Structure 1
Amino acid sequence: MLRLGGGLGAAGLLGGALTGCGGTAEAEPVTSGTVDLAFWTHDDAYVEYFRTAAENAAAAGASPFRWRLDPTRAGASDVVTKTIAQAIAGRGTPDVAGLEIGAFPRLLRGELAAELLQPLDDAVADVRDDLLTVRTAPFSKDGTLYALDSDAPLVVYYYREPEWRRIGLPADLGSWEELAEAGAQAHRRHDVCVGQVSVGSELGQVVQSFDMLLMQRGGTLFDERGELTIDSAEGEAVLTFLARGVQEGWIATVSDPMGPAMQAALKSGRVLGLWMATWYKIYGLVPNVPEQSGEWRIRPLPAFRDGGSRTSFTGGTGFAALRGKENTLAAVDLITAGYLTPAEQVRRFLDLGYLPTRRSVYDSEELLRTEDEYCGGQRMFEVYRGVIDEAPVFHLSPDKPVLDTVLSGYLLRAYRGDLSPREALRRATDDFHGQTRSSRS
């Protein structure tokens, strides 16, 4: 039953279970003093970040609370599964939960978000105009904000500068079409790749490779009503570009962009460039190829000639407070203390590499002066500030897991040349509608 919570037909089942087991019973909230918060996350780095944020807020006298964190670490999907399970049981839910963006759509089905999570609109009211809409929209439903994102993970283009220079690849090509021509020539002469797409068993990653460029081109997986929109001119253009690159060889296929196959491709020099989020340096490059420190650079994405921006988004984790609990107010106060103050947003980038979610912080002189050793002393934040206002807004759907299952297979068929890009997207759309309709009948 709990696994169905991420699927198709369990919204009513889970919603009823939560109500029936008293999961929404209101407790008298603690309003000040020392509180022990059950803090659930998939990444230990968040625990240390929020512990320091708690210490900083206490030292500044910025909150009536003093927080002690009782952390629990679980897989990103398991945080959501276990939160729902404990809510059904009526006990043992976290006070603060870090909800990875790939797992969050499970809470958009039915009234799960409203039953489980404390609305944050009042808590952010004073800074709402400064918050990036592109990072509040994915964690909102029906106009209510339920989580604050930990990052604004812009998609940029990474390239290994000495190798590009060695083989004569220009690093300032303005369009994907120009990069495709140069990349195809470099592949023929030097057997290198200037991009990668995921083709492994993690279906969300397979879709992610397509979605990053789809959003850049001006398309979306879902519109603001949650309706599927992949069968579009933008979708066809992006899939045509990717399929061409795979078939001609200048886009590599790997099972996992953070896994052994990608490590081998990076170490051997087969992959010399790729589009990926700002966090990829931390989780993809540094652990896989530490010996290449000083060689990598970033730049805005090349644009598509027919339209779009120079960046995109992928990833993120929203931190939410569970509603109706004794510690709900304290949990909200910790999240806002850690994620809304400009000083903490600056520290989050310096300590974790996560970009600010307040627009005004992109003018921070401290961040603009920061040089990155791994990327050869580059002032990377200058790149981020240059494209942040072009970042596309996107919306999630409770049916995103269904789309991952359906679309991933058709993307692979298009890459192999078994289907045209247009036919692949049309069939994926038909299959998606067939599955979602049948699940709700």
Structure 2
Amino acid sequence: MHPHTLAAAQTDPNLELTLKVLPAVIVILIVSALCGRLANRLWQPRVLGEMIAGVLLGPTLFGWLFPDVQAKIFPPEVTPILYVLSTIGLTLYMFLVGAGMEHGGGSGPRQPAHQPAIVAIAGILPALLLGMGAGLLLWSTLSDPGIDRWFFAAFLGGALSITAFPMLARILYERGLENSPLGKLSLMAGGVDDAVAWCGLAILTAIHLDSGPGGAIRTIGLAALFVALMLTVVSRALGALGRHVLRSGHISNGAMYLVILVPLIAGWLTDWIGVYSVFGGFIAGLAMPRDAAFRRMLHGRMMDVVSTLLLPIFFAFSGLNTRLDGLGGATMLLAFVTILLAGFAGKYFGCSLAMRSLGFGWRESNAVGALMNARGLMILIFINIGLAQGMIGQQVFSMLVLVAVLTTAAALPLYKAAMPDRLERAQRNEPSGEKELATAA
């Protein structure tokens, strides 16, 4: 460091903090880029590499091999800054997820309403019940003191019942299946799964933070009022913004100020309500104009910055709280395997059997089971909230991070094994694949 800079840093605490935060962010971005590229080369989504990068930067590897260097790059005073940046990033990312969701529509025949509902229920209930069973069984081993047995079981079941909706959508869009019967059904079911999980987390948070049922009822009531106002009053008001953007053909800088302020204010309000800011960001996205051209412009302006700068910081923040060295020993290993199997079996077999009961072939059924079983970023958000609120401890958090990595890594290989290219062509209504799909059924 230049002598003048060093002297200034010693007298200016803000500059001193900046000189600590920037190296941490630089290291995070470099490692995330490398791991994301490696994941792509292994035919995995980039987000999996970024998740693994976060774990590698934590005490599990970097802190174990080079503890002094890791402590210097990620000192305690940097952690709150990373937390704020990751919270802003998650709020904006969930805003983009909500803004990118289609409310019905799309090409092709409409999906029968009962089908996605059945798959969504099958994706939630088995994983929820098996997760709660595992939680009840492992409560005395894993839960922190003061956490009720049934509360711990409900949190674990809720975490295992979640689906990585953004990853599910990304795979289907990349493969041109978003408007296929399988794609539409999966997207609708995955969206319902995540919505139910966030509502469940809101209820658990309300119960955990308030001493009596009155506080939980207040939080739930305010959250419901917030959703109703956002999807009616605010949504109609934003319609003018959508029309202006479509007339001009681009989102101006002035319009971008408004676009970014909406999810940040919504996140602040839901934090004040007690439901966490990512929920507000997601609802703000749903309130955005629904025109496809507007959504493309919005994603084009924001997604790259959010996903390449702010999300890796969230993964690193999660990794700094992950200690896989604490999973050693037969008891902890058995507990982890129990949680992993409960989550995998509940989601995969629940969705596969539900699809089969609706008349889909085994290959299509297993493909949806594989996609719905990926937990990716969504479970990391869920459990980070749980850790921050004191609903779970370090060991359970670390186990669920590993569950997120393994189920996300397994999703695409299992999907491809069930749905080879010739059957994908049939799903896209390409003539060369129709005969193969009929045979596979």
TM over 0.5: no
- Relative to total residues, which structure has the larger strand share, 1 or 2? 1
If the length of structure 2 is used for normalisation, what is the TM-score?
0.29
- Relative to total residues, which structure has the larger helix share, 1 or 2? 2
